[in-house]
Amino acid sequence: MGLIAAELERHGISTVVIQLLRLVAEKVGPPRGLMVPFRHGYPLDTPNDPEKQMAVIQAALQLLEDPSQEPPALVDYSPDAKG
């Protein structure tokens, strides 16, 4: 997804990817990536828990609103962080 995100950014479309593997994210270099600490197959955290899943989505979208997150940017998701 990081390669697709980078290509979309070259065409003026802002993107954020949710990443499970830091090594992959560092090699591919997506414009903006939210590093999540969840197990494979669960990038939005616990299944059937919309509150937790929405928190991950909101954290990813906040990267688009944060002017300090100039591409390329990898940010660690903190489930404890509110905002």
pLDDT in tens, 35-49: 999 999 999 999 999
Per-domain residue ranges of the chain: 2-76
Q: What is the pLDDT of residues 37-83, one digit of tens each?
A: 999 999 999 999 999 999 999 999 999 898 888 788 999 998 876 54
3-state class of 34 per DSSP? strand
| Beta carbons of 32 and 17 less than 8 angstroms apart | yes
DSSP string, 37-83: -PPTT-TTSSTT-HHHHHHHHHHHHHHHH-TT-PSSEEEE--TT---
For 81, the token pair is 């962080």
* 66 backbone φψ class: left, alpha, beta (φ>0; ψ -120 to 50): beta
